[in-house]
Amino acid sequence: MLAGQLAYRLVDEELPRLVATRLGVPTDIVESIENRAPGFGERLLANLSHAVPEMTPPAAPAADELDGAYRREVERLIRAAAAGGDAVILGRLGSAVLGARRDLVRVFVYAPLPWRIANVQASLGCAAHRARSEIARIDEARRMYAREHYRMAWGELRNYDLSVDTARYGVDGAADIIAAAVRAAQSAA
């Protein structure tokens, strides 16, 4: 919606496909990396492998390599999209990848948990407990990814120029607010 209002290109769903093509792996493998929090066993083995390298299981380097290659490709594509100008880059910690550049508006879009649960239920057609579980899983993956790869707290407001509550303003209102912020930033530049 925001990209349409601004007449910008949207950088979102094509990223996994582009990354998969660049890495020479199926798209579903790349998609499985996104929003995946490593399990307790994976985290334990990763921590042990730093302290005792011989504890690293044989499959771990391949998974780490793919995760690292995925991250490098996503960062490259985000930087290229930003360099091309006039783009809405959705998620993937683009704000961390691009930093505090003067030519962008970094936005954190959020909503209270009950609103999010209702929206996930509506979009996935699932029960409230399933929606809550999916939200918790994705939020945890985002927190861990931000902390481990960018040494930042996901959602920490000092990392953004604007934060918008979609429960308060609705999706349309949030898009209007962000579009107004982008236009104001362009006028101020």
Could you list the residue range(s) of the whole structural domain that residue 124 is in? Answer: 2-188
| pTM (2 d.p.) | 0.78
For the cut 70, the answer to whether the pLDDT of residue 106 exceeds it is yes
Among residues 78, 60, 62, 63, which one has the least CA distance to residue 19? Answer: 78
- What CATH number is attached to the domain comprising 183? 3.40.50.300
Phi and psi of 152, rounded to 5°? -140, 160
How many domains does the structure of the chain reveal? 1
Q: Average pLDDT of the chain?
A: 84
Residue keyed to tokens 């949030």: 174
DSSP codes, 149-186 = HHSS-TT-GGG-SEEEEHHHHHHHHHHHHHHHHHHHHH
Residue 88 has pLDDT above 90, yes or no: yes
For the stretch 107-140, pLDDT in tens is 999 999 999 999 999 999 999 999 999 999 999 9
pLDDT digits (tens, 9 = 90+) for 28-52: 888 777 655 454 444 444 445 445 5
Distinct helix (H) and strand (E) counts, the chain:
9, 4
Nearest Cα residue to 13 out of 87, 84, 89:
89
CA distances to 14, 64, 69, 154 from 157, rounded to whole Å, are 27, 30, 28, 9
Reduced to 3 states, what is the DSSP secondary structure of residue 8? coil
